[in-house]
Structure 1
Amino acid sequence: MESPKIILTGGGTAGHVSLNQAIIPPLKEKGYDVHYIGSKDGIEKNLIRDSFPGLPYHEIQSGKLRRYFSMKNFTDPFKVGAGVLQAYKQIKKLKPALIFSKGGFVSVPVILAGRMAGVPVVIHESDVTPGLANKLAMPFADHVFTVFPETVPHVKKASATCSGPVIRPELFDGSKKEGLRLAGLSGKRPVLLVMGGSQGSAVLNEAVRSGLPQLLRSMDVIHLCGKGHLDRTLDGTEGYAQFEYVTGGLKDLLKAADGVVSRAGSNSIFEFLALRLPMLLIPLSAEKSRGDQILNARLFAKSGFAEVLEEENVTRETFLDAVGSMTENAQRMILSMEKAEPPKTPEEMAALILKCSKGE
């Protein structure tokens, strides 16, 4: 008997792929033949192929959806149209029991094609308010899973459930000893981990480096500064370790950390919450984003999980003050985190998704 098929989609950023990466193993264990539809040049292609070399990956065209004026706004709709036709062809050929989308621009044509083909479509939204791609796609979905309960009222024309966050199990397997070894630190002082994402954050990098002499008086610093943003003049600075980006060893660096400074993307902050890691969040400003990170950060601050410093207020002095406040309130944050509802496992999330498939 042929295995039932399921199509996953989502891309553009690592956050639009990570949940799919987490649920692929349990879906395969349940006997599903998993296929991925993504763009030709998006980050999702390399992430999926590197993690699951034998998994079928189908390329489609995808235009970017912009909230600002660009000449490409006149041409990209044609790419979306072409992507819908390409996705529809694959869906009719594969005859999947379900399509699951994590969002991002490439998911829109897949969801539209899924509705045209009569295949159940399920969407996952990580942020408090839906991103533009998911906002456009939700009317064509059968069900939407959200991380925040505050997101459910934003879902129109589809049923919605707050399923909570899903955390990769391997994050809990980190080794403090290995993390300290990777960073070349002794472990005799508290460790501050600063993360600005794979592309880095100029604001975070400047704040950390300008305040480094003061920080190093009382703590060691591990700085993930983003690709191309190493400062070689700081090489050899005692108590300071800088990396462009870390993947495999991130769980060990997180285990070695006593506190973290980060942007406020949903996936990351729920990982810090699950690891009971005190955090200082510096969300992307409304000028640089649709404001989703600001809402994420404020909800975490309201719950007692984080300190927040708005990007437009970052100076060397305010940054040092905020790090000091996070350090002083670390135990209070940890106590609040211990009361939080535990995250879903990938197996639990996969089971919820499959309940929406044909025949379930």
Structure 2
Amino acid sequence: MSKIAFTGGGTVGHVSVNLSLIPTALAKGHEAFYIGSQKGIEREMIESQLPEIKYHVISSGKLRRYLSFDNFKDIFKVLKGIIDARRVLKKEKPDLLFSKGGFVSVPVVIAARSLKIPTIIHESDLTPGLANKIALKFAKKIYTTFEDTLNYLPKDKADFVGATVREDLKSGNKSRGYQLTQFSSDKKVLLVMGGSLGSKKLNDTIRGNLDALLKTYQIIHLTGKGLLDEKYINRPGYIQFEFVKDDLTDLLAITDTVVSRSGSNAIYEFLTLRIPMLLIPLGLEQSRGDQIDNAKNFASKDFGRYILEDELSENQLAEQLADIEHNRSDIIDKMKTYKESYTKEDLFDKIVTDAEA
């Protein structure tokens, strides 16, 4: 059996696939450990959800696409990160490295190459991120969630594997969902989620249009941390949560339509559950534009609709939701044409096989 190093961090999306694959590796008799940053979200997620996994901390800088003096300073952080990662890898002696991306992964991938440890990397978004573009030079293979991503990558290194969604996704309990919300089963449910940090503009737009929306929907609003509004606590048909973890599958089980950011993991979950979606991608001032690309790709396949955040208004929201309701059956029919590519077991076996090739 093999020992496998996992890395990736900076966002939930850069950790979630690892969270799925690590238990699979353990169940198949392999050993696993994680390399990440001191304060990144990856440490919080791994240590809280997989406490049995050894977590190694390395130094990491931030990769920026703009000119900044911090870029110069972070060169030294990355160099230290390579040294840190080499020390960990030499001690643990893994047979392969699986990298999910994010800036913390770059020094790990470089260190693995220097020690002749084969590396497989994974790209969730439609267009490759800067970290994975750099890491690809040192890796054997890159896997993609979107088939169209292959157009941006060298053919001899890239494989389309599709999305790997959580096993519990389809096991949501509708009765539990209605119990949590005190909603009725005879009226549609709209789920609104603006990401882990929430979106003030999306929250304000939903609340500003609440009277009109409640004529059609009961609304579950995941506001983001610290963004609950007490004025609406007792509003019939409208319930707020800062965030939901264990109960999310039950809430998804009663959801008819979702308004969401367009991170690839989330939108593939909605696609798998065949929930029509209105996507509000992060804007260019907050990201490199990957969520915009994801949203446009899904809209082009008629899996849903999207509104750019700087164009979001109460009227646009109402119009796009009305369009989704008018075309609901067609959207769901299009969603049914999507076939899941690899199970997590299949993907894990492919990682091991490709690393050994």
Normalised TM-score (structure 2): 0.97
User: Which residue of structure 1 lines up, in the alignment, with residue 231 of structure 2?
Assistant: 233
1:76-91 aligned at under 5 Å gives the runs: 76-91=74-89
- Which region of structure 1 is more displaced relative to structure 2, 10-19 or 290-299? 290-299
Q: Distance in 1 between matches of 2:318 and 2:324?
A: 10
Provide structure 2 residue ranges, at least 5 long, that are not aligned to the other structure: none
1:1-360 aligned at under 5 Å gives the runs: 3-156=1-154, 159-358=157-356
Q: Distance in 1 between matches of 2:148 and 2:316?
A: 30
Q: Distance in 1 between matches of 2:185 and 2:68?
A: 50
Q: Distance in 2 between matches of 1:117 and 1:317?
A: 57
Q: Distance in 1 between matches of 2:235 and 2:215?
A: 12
Q: Distance in 2 between matches of 1:74 and 1:226?
A: 34
Deviation of the 1:158 alpha carbon? 5.9
Normalised TM-score (structure 1): 0.96
Q: Deviations over 1:25-54 (max 9, x none)?
A: 111122110010001101111111111111
Q: Secondary structure at the match of 1:220?
A: strand
User: Could you tell me which amino acid in structure 2 is paired with residue 353 of structure 1?
Assistant: I
In 2 relative to 1, CA 343–203 (structure 1 residues): closer, same or farther, beyond 3 Å? Answer: farther
Q: Distance in 1 between matches of 2:297 and 2:352?
A: 30
User: Could you tell me which amino acid in structure 2 is paired with residue 41 of structure 1?
Assistant: K
User: Could you tell me which amino acid in structure 1 is paired with residue 13 of structure 2?
Assistant: G
User: What is the count of residue pairs matched by the alignment?
Assistant: 357
Q: Distance in 2 between matches of 1:357 and 1:149?
A: 21
Deviation of the 1:346 alpha carbon? 1.2
Conservation of the 8 A alpha-carbon contact between 1:167 and 1:344: no
User: Could you tell me which amino acid in structure 2 is paired with residue 82 of structure 1?
Assistant: K
Q: Distance in 1 between matches of 2:223 and 2:189?
A: 16
Q: Distance in 2 between matches of 1:29 and 1:234?
A: 46
Deviation of the 1:80 alpha carbon? 0.7
Q: Distance in 2 between matches of 1:303 and 1:273?
A: 11
User: Could you tell me which amino acid in structure 2 is paired with residue 190 of structure 1?
Assistant: K
Q: Distance in 1 between matches of 2:342 and 2:168?
A: 14
Q: Distance in 2 between matches of 1:293 and 1:140?
A: 26
User: Could you tell me which amino acid in structure 1 is paired with residue 212 of structure 2?
Assistant: Q
Deviation of the 1:137 alpha carbon? 1.1
Conservation of the 8 A alpha-carbon contact between 2:128 and 2:149: yes
Q: Distance in 2 between matches of 1:54 and 1:303?
A: 41
In 2 relative to 1, CA 173–329 (structure 1 residues): closer, same or farther, beyond 3 Å? Answer: same
- Which region of structure 1 is more displaced relative to structure 2, 229-238 or 68-77? 68-77
Q: Distance in 2 between matches of 1:179 and 1:70?
A: 47
Q: Secondary structure at the match of 2:324?
A: helix
Q: Distance in 2 between matches of 1:70 and 1:265?
A: 27
Deviation of the 1:356 alpha carbon? 2.0
Deviation of the 1:186 alpha carbon? 2.3
User: Could you tell me which amino acid in structure 1 is paired with residue 71 of structure 2?
Assistant: N
Q: Secondary structure at the match of 2:215?
A: coil
Deviation of the 1:117 alpha carbon? 0.5
Conservation of the 8 A alpha-carbon contact between 2:61 and 2:104: yes
Conservation of the 8 A alpha-carbon contact between 1:12 and 1:105: yes
Q: Distance in 2 between matches of 1:222 and 1:295?
A: 26
Deviation of the 1:343 alpha carbon? 4.3
Q: Report the identity percentage.
A: 46
Q: Distance in 1 between matches of 2:178 and 2:36?
A: 37
Conservation of the 8 A alpha-carbon contact between 2:140 and 2:355: no
Q: Distance in 2 between matches of 1:206 and 1:326?
A: 21
Deviation of the 1:272 alpha carbon? 0.3
Q: Secondary structure at the match of 2:355?
A: coil
Q: Distance in 2 between matches of 1:269 and 1:62?
A: 29
Q: Secondary structure at the match of 1:204?
A: helix
Provide structure 1 residue ranges, at least 5 long, that are not aligned to the other structure: none
Conservation of the 8 A alpha-carbon contact between 1:139 and 1:158: no
